Amino acid sequence: MGDAVMDNGALEPRPHYFRDLSDVPVELEPPTGTVTDTRNRQLRDLRISVTDRCNFRCVYCMPKEIFGKDFTFMERAELLTFEEMTRLARIAVAHGVEKIRLTGGEPLLRKGLEELVGMLAALKTPDGRDIDIALTTNGSALAVKAQSLKDAGLKRVTVSLDSLDDATFKAMNDVNFPVAKVLHGIDVAHEVGLGPIKINMVMKRGQNDQDIVSMARHFKGSPYILRFIEFMDVGTSNGWKMGEVVPSAEVISRINAELPLEEIAPNYNGETSARWRYRDGSGEIGVISSVTQSFCHSCTRVRVSTEGKLFTCLFATDGHDLSALMRSGCSDEQLSTVMAHIWRERTDRYSELRSAKTRELRATGKTKIEMSYIGG
């Protein structure tokens, strides 16, 4: 059972989390190469957070009021080691994972990341194919790291970039980081072959939505694919309000008015981004409607946090403590059994439920849904 939404809108914690050896089922199950959840979704993607630290303080993610000087980040001993991450990844791959994305925090802050990339790049699917290894980064250290990451086996990078206007960008990263350095990092990553590079722009109304069309214009005709992401109510600290979300439909209509667009088919079933191309043939953009159009029905993702908890939904209230299991001597067979159980019992569809709740609130005359209402 996954989290459910209670009548007051908060998430109800699932009744059972795997936390120690006593939770491990007695009957062991070797992986079969595929595992399916209660909504017929197969496990396909793994995201590993390699650090909880970041050199940016993006206002929608790590606002300074919360992540200030007094904030305590994890101690090194709490972090999963590269060997532990690779062990979990190997088991996930045996269950059907084909894509691994490294994220954070800012993943490029984790020392020796290339070593982890190399270890993950050596994994193969049960039928002998390479794993698709990608990384999401704020781009600040990309110019320095791109070549060594490529050499280690990284396939692609996605770079977050919320504005081309220096003042707006600095206000959003809130550490005065200049946009030119990120743009240079993107170009270096492209030159070393870490493409096709996707550029993610999170939009917050009143903060950077005035830059939507200029971003589109800038990347039109370039080798980079720009994707617009709706500001999500993730975590408990970003003060999310529905009124600050710029819906994808508005993004498309604003760009289309100046640079005509047409919708195109997804690359594969379950792609989170809806694709649009310029009618003049000069490339495509994507929109990720995490808030206005949930894609839970095709969500094949599992996440491992920096300290080794496994989450089956971005909005889950807690995770399964795989670090505790590994560090108390769990065997590969036991870990594999636990992973199979977790995925098979998965019911998560938070965004879908939130959309239904938002419609219900609108129908009763309320126009915005607060974080405190829906729960974190």
Q: How far is the CB of 136 from ligand SAM (least distance, A)?
A: 4
- Residue 133 beta carbon to ligand SF4: minimum distance, rounded to whole angstroms: 19
Q: Does 54 bind ligand SF4 (CB under 6 A)?
A: yes
Total interface residues for ligand SF4 by CB under 6 A: 22
Give yes or no for a contact between 88 and 311, defined as CB atoms under 8 angstroms apart. no
Inter-CA distances, 242 with 65, 245, 294, Å: 21, 5, 15
d(CA 10, CA 156): 37
Tell me which of 88, 117, 349, 374 binds ligand SF4, using CB under 6 A. 349
Question: How many angstroms separate the CA atoms of 38 and 42, rounded?
Answer: 10
The entry of ligand SF4, ligand SAM, none that residue 229 binds, CB within 5 to 8 Å by partner kind: ligand SAM
Q: Which does 289 bind (CB under 5 to 8 A by kind): ligand SF4, ligand SAM, none?
A: none
Binding partner of 313, given ligand SAM, ligand SF4, none, CB within 5-8 angstroms per partner class: ligand SF4
Phi and psi torsions of 107, nearest 5°: -60, -30
Smallest separation, CB 167 to ligand SAM (Å): 19
The Cα 29–Cα 177 span in angstroms is: 49
Total residues belonging to the chain: 376
Among 37, 45, 106, 211, binds ligand SF4 (CB under 6 A): 106
Binding residue (CB under 6 A) for ligand SF4 from 91, 186, 348, 358: 348
- 296, interface contact from ligand SAM, ligand SF4, none, CB < 5-8 Å by kind: ligand SF4
Per CB under 6 A, the segment of 79-87, 90-98, 188-196, 311-319 that binds ligand SF4 is 311-319
Query: 54 or 255, CB closer to ligand SF4?
Result: 54
Least spacing, CB of residue 140 vs ligand SF4, in Å: 8
3-class SS of residue 116: helix
Q: Min. distance of Cβ 58 from ligand SF4 in angstroms?
A: 3
Distances (CA, A) of 301 to 41, 101, 123, 200, 261: 9, 10, 18, 19, 30
Q: Which is nearer to ligand SF4, 31 or 104 (CB)?
A: 104
Q: Is 336 in the site for ligand SF4 (CB under 6 A)?
A: no
Query: From residue 127 to residue 166, what is the string marking binding to ligand SF4 with x (rule CB under 6 A)?
Result: -----------x---------------------x------
> Rounded CA gap, 192 and 26, in Å?
48
Q: Tell me, what amino acid is at 118?
A: G
Phi/psi region, residue 293 (left: phi>0; alpha: psi -120 to 50; beta: rest), is: beta
Helix then strand count (H, E) for the chain reads: 11, 14
Query: Cβ of 347: how many Cβ atoms within 10 Å?
Result: 14
- Given the complex with ligand SF4, which of 54 and 226 has the nearer CB atom? 54
Instruction: Kindly state the tokens that stand for 40.
Output: 């017929």
Binder among 259, 314, 361, 371 for ligand SF4 (CB under 6 A) = 314
Reply yes or no: is the peptide bond before residue 247 cis, omega within 30 of 0.
Answer: no
Nearer to ligand SAM, 294 or 334 (CB): 294
Of the candidates 211, 215, 151, the residue with the CA atom closest to the CA atom of residue 183: 215
- Give the number of other CB atoms < 10 A from CB of residue 223: 12
| Residue 208 interacting with ligand SF4 (CB under 6 A) | no
Token pair for 279: 């009618």
What is the pattern of x (binds ligand SF4, CB under 6 A) and - over residues 281-300?
-------------xxx--x-
Q: Is the dihedral of CA 263, 265, 267, 268 positive or negative?
A: positive
CB of 119 to ligand SF4, least distance (A): 23
Residue ranges that bind ligand SAM, judged by CB under 6 A: 54, 60-61, 103-104, 106, 136-138, 160, 200, 202, 229, 231-232, 234, 238
Among 18, 169, 228, 315, binds ligand SF4 (CB under 6 A): 315
Query: Quick one: which of 28, 18, 31, 27 has its CA closest to 96?
Result: 31
Q: Which two tokens stand for residue 196?
A: 């096709």
Residues at the site binding ligand SF4, with contacts judged by CB under 6 A: 54, 56-58, 61-62, 104-106, 138, 160, 294-296, 299, 313-315, 348-351
